[in-house]
Structure 1
Amino acid sequence: MTLWVARRIASLTGDLAMYLCFLIVLTSLAKIARPEGTLPRPVAGLWMLLIMLSALWHDIKVPWDNTFDMAKMGAGGGLIGASLDWFLRVALGRFGAIALILMGMWSGFSMLVNKPVHTPLSVLWFLWLTGWRKVQGFFANLFRPQGPAEEDIEYEALESLAGQADDIVGDPSYEDGQMSSFSATVSQIQERLSSMDKAEEPVYEETAASETGEETFTPLSMEQRPLSEELFYELPPLSILDKPQPRKRMHHSQLLQEKAKIIEKTLYSFGVTAKVVEVARGPAATRFELQPGPGVKVSSIVNLSQDLALALAAQDVRIEAPIPGKSAVGIEVPNKDISIVHIREVLESKPFRSSPSPLTVALGKDISGRPVVTTLEKCVHLLIAGATGAGKSVCINSIITSILFKARPDQVKLLLIDPKRVELSAWSQVPHLIAPVVTDPKKASSALRWAIKEMESRYEQFTKVGTRDVDRYNEIATPPGSIKPALPYIVIIIDELSDLMMVAPAEVEDSIFRLAQMARAAGIHLVVATQRPSVDVITGTIKANIPSRIAFAVSSQTDSRTILDMGGAEKLLGRGDMLFFPVGAVKPLRAQGSYISEREIDEMVSFISSQAKPQFVQGVLSVSESTAQAPQIQDDPLFSQALRIVIEAKQASVSLLQRRLPIGYSRAARLIDAMELKGYIGPYEGSKPREVKITMGEYLRLFESQGESENLQPEPGNGSGQPNGSHRQ
């Protein structure tokens, strides 16, 4: 019996039978040690090495003519090596088979030493995807009977339509006289095949307005590159980022004890008994946890914030009453020196490394020094606001950096909108971009409209498959091993919302409203930032649909309430000090934002762009002149009157038309847009007034020639030659 088992093992791997026995014992011990776990990576690497080595050994030792006969006798690589060698040589030839075997051995060795195997595994996977169809077609033709009438028909192409021909041939009523109908059916099938071949290579044209006035739209799924092109992409290593300088060890314990005594004495002098039970020193502030005495109201401690700041000689004191999850009151006292939190510290933390989501973002460290890591799926959408220089742009750069360290270009796509033209231009070469960095507010409106159409297109695909969100759709429509690319996440980042709201407030607000309401399940997430946290920029509609907020230092409590619906941001220190208020949280979390320098951004972009270049989606930034608003604006009965008011005032603004004409903001803004579209006034230039490019003489000739001079006639009771409402009341 033992001899029979030995012979069978020898026939499996031939000359390598000893190694097979060793691996069987090793695998058994591994499964005993981890009965419910997966096979250890080094053991799997040994198995891969053995299989590939047996195929290579058999190819070298045994002649091709009697390969299986020798394998049965235990020569060469045995039956395993002979089978693999025969299969690869038939499919790829001898040189191709040897090359693939060597790459497999390299991958097995890499798995054995437990090192990254990006390059060899990528090559193997690429060859598998590209060669599988050819191998499948080879074996289909090998075992399929060839008929004289079918020699010129590609079996693989007809496979999807073979059911129609089988129904015709298998019909009992089929007679010779019906051969013409069958020939017609075959011709129809061939026509459909030719149309399918053309459909496999879509031709993209420049997006323009169609004859019906509607904009053409190409879904992102049709613009996706083949999966094989993304397999060679390597995520950037952490070594690109600078190592944080070791902080000097300073003995703060005595100083913190003195401050704790000052807090207790100050409260006692006002009749409040409390005891400091714990102290946590963070990067920007130190939190003293107070335990109030019996009968002490929390409000009595909160009302003494200014007195505590005076006693501690601090810039300001923020009181968190109570601390969520604790029966204590937190008194946050600013540190004299704010410690910089380098983004590498947060990226190296366990919460970030263990997160499987490609939308994981490293925000910074909280007041206790713990890393603050979240995902955009949990945040749904994110609103960032604060005064100039408080750290908004650095926070956005940290969010983009976190995504690039987690996601390949086929997993996450970025749409960057930067009306300020300076903050996001550094990311213009990363392959994750859908379109170039948008700096024109008009094109930004078009990009948001494209995002809405992409969202609607995705929901149509979800309906066909019967799913609700993008994750479930990718599991069903693009299972592992599928050549079809999965739908990527889309992150839309707007660096300055106020500039967009000045140019096209109604359109931008409507687009953000629709995306914020519906885009989460489609895998589209918004990150909106502004330095003007006022109600005309962060409107109630926008704030109600963006549940997660980050507030940096602001100048007043009113601005803090606009962002967070509560005070507290006015007491922040700036330079990255922030309040993070995620969806579902009871109170905001104070944290110090992570910092990344411009040099680190340049090095990371250089590393990523050297592997792949951005391939922009057609039509994202196309601004159609035949939108639904254009004819309505041109036909506005007040257009000529509004234009005359602008010419007489020698400047154009929405507020000017609101004062002179009995109209609201939206209509006045549409009239200004129409004048700019016609070329009568110049574009928006920030605080400068718009340039008026038409003179009064040109105006009179233009509108009299169009038969619109009746709009210039004075109304009864208005003795001037101006339109009614054009004079100051």
Structure 2
Amino acid sequence: MTDLATLLEVGGPVAALGGGAAYARARHPGVYWSTVGLPVSTVRLLSSYGSVMEACGLTVAPSRLRVLAVKATTRREARPVPPRRGIIRPTTTGLRVRLRLAPGQEPADVAASAERLRHAWGVHAVYVTMVKPGVVELRLVGFDVLRRVRMPRKLRPDLLRVPVALREDATPFVRDYRTVPHQLTLGATLSGKSMYLRHLVAGLAPQPVALVGIDCKRGVELAPFAPRLSALATDPEQAAELLPVLIKEMEDRYDLIRARQGIAPSTPDEEITSDICGLPEHERPVSVVLFVDEVAELFLVATKKDEERRDEMVTQLIRLAQLGRAAGIYLEVCGQRFGAELGKGATMLRAQLTGRVCHRVNDEASAKMALGDIAPEAVSAACAIAPERPGLAVAADTSGGWSRIRTPYLSLGDAAETCRESAHLVPDLPALKLFRPDVPVRLPVEMPDPVVCPRPVTD
């Protein structure tokens, strides 16, 4: 009986702790990492750093001075020298540590051993970034941060910069229109493309910018954001009327730049390299972000007349992509598929879209359309996205770099409410007043009469 009581006293708490740790690891990985994973991984790193670096081939022969010093003090053979380790910085999702590379090493050597380091230290992933020549940073991620996306709390809002997703290395993916002015976003049905667009609109709504939408699905995607939109076209006919107005607005802004900088009026727009950011604040026009949802609908034609209209719209989109950045006009083009089979001008327009975001697609050819010309190795990663993870995508740009990202959930009601609260920020653009969408008036909700009438209390 005494043995049974002792077993219950000792085994009960141990079983409870083990069960709690297993539950936290499955349901709340962040809590598990902060309480269990972080201390364990830190001990593993500190205790096995030298041997792991030697096993990964990341050590170099010691210098002669070091060999002489070791022999003189300990009479032992000097071991190979690993990269000098900096201070370990814990985070809510992993660890960060900087390494000073030994002479003759390069960051590619450490990056090639990232998978070995992951297994040796028992973490989910290891990412290597170069801080400066001779110094790299190891970012150890303790768990799969893309399974349940939680954006970092401390994000500094800035003009035309919107944090829309989380990278697989636990850093935020920020859509910066000043760095990447135009972007192409592809994704099949239920892949999370609409959620990505929803985050962009909700992030730009509180900023002093003009939002313009072309939604050829009768406005089902962008109509809920009508209170914040300066213009909205819901079919190709309206888009054919809206795009020339944007071209005229762009030309007027170029004329403003010419007048301010003393450039001759006969100078072609293509030769003007300055932008509206150089204008005084009181003369600077607001930036315009154009969202084009289901871009393939602008290319599909049925008659000869539709073909002429299509060619005009494609030409105008190409002009906006080529010249719009200096005038403060940015493009966000979305669709399920975007290739040369859509018609003349599709490939040329795609070449002007610097940023690429590819969600789950139905075939490899669609992934190649988005990523094949800038990051061929990312095509296989895009094709491997499972339908059970909507919002997961591969983000790349023309520099060749790419990473996996995932957009957190944002309900349509919350995004629409953000646009309604920011309706007063819609800038005054006279050229777009004709295309301003109708905003339905929200009637007050009347409370129904009670079923049972209350009785007064009498003495």
Specify the TM-score bucket, using the shorter chain as the normaliser: 0.5 to 0.7
Aligned to 2:79: none
Aligned to 1:463: 258
Give TM-score, length-normalised by structure 2: 0.57
Q: Distance in 1 between matches of 2:238 and 2:191?
A: 28
Aligned to 1:172: none
CA distance in 2: counterparts of 1:265 and 1:533, whole angstroms: 50
In the superposition, the TM-score normalised over structure 1's length comes to 0.38
Aligned to 2:319: 514
C-alpha separation between the residues in 1 aligned to 2:143 and 2:368? 22
From 576, 579, 603, give the equivalent of 2:391.
Answer: 576
CA offsets per residue over residues 369-428 of structure 1, 9 Å max, x none?
A: 444445312222222233443332222222222222222xxxx22111112332212101
**Alignment partners' CA distance in 2, 1:288 and 1:389:** 38
The answer for the alignment partner of 2:336 in structure 1 is 531
CA drift at 1:311: 12
CA contact (8 A) 2:29 2:143 kept: no
- Answering whether residue 189 of structure 2 is matched by residue 380 of structure 1, we say no
Compared with structure 1, are the counterparts of its residues 613 and 546 closer, same or farther at alpha carbon in structure 2 (3 Å cutoff)? closer
Give the whole-Å Cα distance in 2 for the aligned partners of 1:300 and 1:463.
51
What is the rounded CA distance, in whole Å, between the counterparts of 2:297 and 2:142 in structure 1?
Answer: 36
CA shift at 1:330, angstroms? 7.9
CA-to-partner distance for each residue in 1:28-85, whole Å, 9 max, x for gaps? xxxxxxxxxxxxxxxxxxxxxxxxxxxxxxxxxxxxxxxxxxxxxxxxxxxxxxxxxx
C-alpha change, 1:604 and 1:390, in structure 2 (3 Å) is same
Instruction: Give, as a single letter, the amino acid of the residue that structure 1 aligns with 2:150.
Output: V
Q: Secondary structure at the match of 1:341?
A: coil
1:442 aligns with 2:233: no
- In structure 1, how many angstroms separate the alpha carbons of the residues matched to 2:36 and 2:121? 19
1:500 corresponds, among 298, 304, 310, to 298
| Superposition deviation, residue 524 in structure 1 | 1.0
Name the counterpart of 2:376: 566
Deviation string 1:124-145 (CA, Å, 9 cap, x unpaired) is: xxxxxxxxxxxxxxxxxxxxxx
291 and 469 in structure 1: CA distance in 2 versus 1, 3 angstrom threshold: closer
Question: Residue deviations 1:617-639, cap 9 Å, x none?
Answer: 35559xxxxxxxxxxxxxxxxxx
SS, match of residue 460 in structure 1: helix
CA contact (8 A) 2:205 2:419 kept: no
Distance 1:613 1:361, change over 3 A: closer
How far apart in 2 are the matches of 1:523 and 1:613? 14
Cα offset, 1:292, TM superposition: 11
Q: Which has the higher strand share?
A: 2
Using the TM superposition, give the Cα deviation of residue 290 of structure 1 relative to its aligned residue in structure 2, in angstroms. 11
String of CA shifts for 1:227-249, please: whole Å, max 9, x gaps: xxxxxxxxxxxxxxxxxx99645
Q: Paired residue for 1:489, among 273, 280, 287?
A: 287
SS in 1 for 2:291: strand
Q: CA deviation at 1:500?
A: 2.0
Counterpart-to-counterpart distance in 2, 1:562 and 1:571: 12
- CA distance 1:567–1:502, shift in 2 (3 Å): farther
Aligned pair partner of 1:400 in 198, 201, 217 = 201
Correspondence 1:426 to 2:231: no
Which one of the candidate residues 22, 34, 37 is aligned to 1:252? 37
Q: Determine the C-alpha separation between the residues in 2 that align with 1:386 and 1:309.
A: 31
Report what 1:602 is aligned to: 416
- Give the letter for the 1:452 counterpart: I
Give yes or no for the alignment of 1:340 onto 2:149.
yes
Q: Give the SS at the match of 2:334.
A: strand
Tell me the residue number matched to 1:587.
Answer: 401
For 1:290 and 1:535, locate their aligned partners in 2 and report how far apart those are by CA, in whole Å: 46
- Superimposed CA distance per residue, residues 667-721 of structure 1 (whole angstroms, 9 cap, x where no aligned partner): xxxxxxxxxxxxxxxxxxxxxxxxxxxxxxxxxxxxxxxxxxxxxxxxxxxxxxx
- Contact 1:395-1:595 within 8 A present in 2 as well: no
How far apart, CA to CA, are the structure 1 residues paired with 2:142 and 2:381?
10
2:157 equivalent to 1:362: no
AA aligned to 2:182 is H
SS of the equivalent of 2:300 reads helix
What amino acid is the match of 2:314? E
Return the offset for 1:490. Answer: 1.3
In 1, the alpha carbon distance for the partners of 2:170 and 2:231 equals 38
Q: Distance in 2 between matches of 1:288 and 1:466?
A: 49
- Using the TM superposition, give the Cα deviation of residue 443 of structure 1 relative to its aligned residue in structure 2, in angstroms: 2.2
Change (3 A) 1:473 1:323: closer
Compared CA separation, residues 257 and 465, structure 1 to 2 (3 A): closer
CA distance in 2, matches of 1:506, 1:287: 52
CA 1:295/1:616 → structure 2, altered by over 3 Å: closer, same or farther?
closer
Q: CA deviation at 1:517?
A: 0.9
> Aligned residue for 1:617?
432
Contact 2:182 2:331 in 1 (8 A): yes
Indicate if the aligned counterparts of 2:97 and 2:139 stay in contact, CA closer than 8 A: yes
Post-superposition offset of 1:259: 11
Counterpart AA for 2:205: L
Unaligned regions of 5+ residues in structure 1, if any? 1-244, 480-485, 622-729
> What is the rounded CA distance, in whole Å, between the counterparts of 2:358 and 2:351 in structure 1?
16
The higher radius of gyration belongs to: 1
Aligned-partner SS, 1:415: strand
Pair 1:515–1:569, CA change in 2 (3 A): same
Q: Secondary structure at the match of 1:252?
A: helix
Aligned partner letter, 1:457: D
Q: How far 1:440 moved relative to its partner?
A: 0.6
Q: Give the match for residue 725 of structure 1.
A: none
C-alpha distance in 2, partners of 1:280/1:496?
43
Measured after TM superposition, the shift of residue 250 of structure 1 is 5.3
SS of residue matched to 1:471: helix
Residues 311, 320 of structure 1: alpha-carbon distance in 2 compared, 3 angstrom cutoff: closer
Q: Could you give the per-residue CA deviations for residues 601-659 of structure 1, whole angstroms, max 9, x where no partner exists?
A: 232233234898998835559xxxxxxxxxxxxxxxxxxxxxxxxxxxxxxxxxxxxxx
**Rounded Cα–Cα distance in structure 2 between residues aligned with 1:253 and 1:589:** 25
Q: How does 1:410-421 map to 2 (within 5 A)?
A: 412-420=209-217, 421=219
Report the residue type matching 1:603 in the other structure.
Answer: E
Distance (Å, rounded) in 1 between the aligned partners of 2:435 and 2:184: 23
Measure how far apart 1:578 and its partner are: 4.0
How far has the Cα of 1:492 moved from its partner?
A: 0.6
Q: What does residue range 78-97 of structure 1 map to in structure 2 within 5 Å?
A: none
Q: Aligned in 2, Cα 1:540/1:318: closer, same or farther, shift over 3 Å? A: farther
Question: Helix, strand or coil: the match of 2:36?
Answer: coil
Q: Cα distance, 1:527 vs. partner?
A: 1.1
> How far apart, in 2, do the equivalents of 1:309 and 1:552 lie?
27
Write the letter of the residue equivalent to 2:349.
Answer: I
Equivalent pair of 2:240/2:313 in contact (CA under 8 Å): yes
Write the distance in 2 (CA, Å) between the matches of 1:332 and 1:369.
Answer: 7
Deviation (angstroms), 1:520: 1.1
Q: Which amino acid aligns with 1:253?
A: L
Bigger fraction of residues in helix:
1
Secondary structure of 1:491's counterpart equals strand
The residue identity in structure 2 corresponding to 1:456 is E
Is the CA contact 2:141–2:170 (under 8 Å) kept in the aligned structure 1?
no
Shift in Å, 1:594? 4.6
Q: 2: distance between equivalents of 1:419 and 1:565?
A: 30
Aligned counterparts of 1:560 and 1:380: Cα–Cα separation in 2: 16
Give the distance between the partners of 2:41 and 2:190, measured in 1 at CA: 30
Distance 1:589 1:492 in 2: 25
- After superposition, the C-alpha distances for 1:439-469 in whole angstroms (9 at most, x for unaligned) are 2123223322321122122222332333643
